[in-house]
């Protein structure tokens, strides 16, 4: 079964809050849900994310320079239908977030991931070492100022004009080093994850049963 994009939602921006809540609808089978979020400046106070009350797994987080932390969370097998996604913090801060879901994903976890930062050049390219065949890439990018422009092999899914971007490869990538890219005047940080498709059973496979004699 091939991976397909299901839904992409802007979760909004909360100022001086300890949580941000929005609705996301997951459909189809073999689902996976990603959440991209930013938190405080220089302080790691985002405590986690949930969907339909289920704790999501933190893929990675990072901060560059004097800008905000960016986080990427994932949940394999999220509940179907419309449910609340929630990003929480230990103290009141500005929180922005997006959610993106896919179908046809292998449920055992991400294939690979990597992070990157750039404070002096205008382009940030983050590559990860893809292991399985027919993976997609998902990316969480944060920039400090201006509007980022997606680069080679990168499709922008959500841009809420607050410097937070969710993007993907818009299709399968080869194994080995594969990347997502944004260009801007001050790209800050990114997390890129590869995730694999469900392996379909072999059609027409034969099962050999050894004859046994029972007394």
Indicate yes or no: pTM above 0.85. Answer: yes
List per-block mean pLDDT (blocks of 10 residues) for the chain, which spans 215 residues: 96 97 98 97 94 98 87 98 98 97 97 92 92 98 84 93 93 98 85 94 50 39
pLDDT at 147: 81
The CA-based angle 84-101-59, given to 5 degrees, is 90
How far CA 64 is from CA of 15, 41, 67, 93, 207, in Å, comes to 21, 10, 6, 18, 55
Sequence spans of domains, the chain: 4-195
């Amino acid at each position: 079964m091939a991976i397909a994009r299901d839904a992409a939602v802007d979760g909004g921006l909360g100022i001086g809050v300890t949580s941000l809540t929005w609705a996301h609808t997951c459909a189809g089978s073999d689902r996976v849900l990603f959440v991209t979020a930013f938190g405080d400046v220089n302080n790691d106070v985002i405590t986690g994310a949930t969907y339909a009350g289920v704790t999501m797994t933190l893929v990675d987080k990072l901060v560059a320079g004097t800008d905000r932390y960016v986080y990427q969370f994932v949940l394999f097998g999220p509940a179907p239908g419309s449910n609340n996604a929630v990003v929480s913090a230990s103290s009141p801060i500005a929180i922005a977030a997006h959610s993106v879901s896919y179908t046809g994903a292998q449920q055992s976890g991400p294939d690979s991931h990597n992070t990157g930062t750039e404070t002096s050049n205008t382009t940030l390219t983050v590559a990860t070492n893809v292991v399985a065949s027919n993976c997609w890439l998902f990316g969480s990018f944060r920039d400090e100022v201006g509007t980022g422009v997606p680069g080679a092999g990168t499709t922008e899914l959500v841009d809420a004009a607050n410097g937070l971007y969710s993007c993907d490869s818009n299709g399968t990538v080869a194994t080995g080093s594969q990347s997502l890219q944004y260009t801007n005047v001050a790209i800050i940080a990114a997390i890129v994850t590869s995730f694999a498709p469900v392996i379909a059973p072999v059609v027409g496979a034969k099962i050999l049963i050894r004859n046994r004699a029972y007394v």
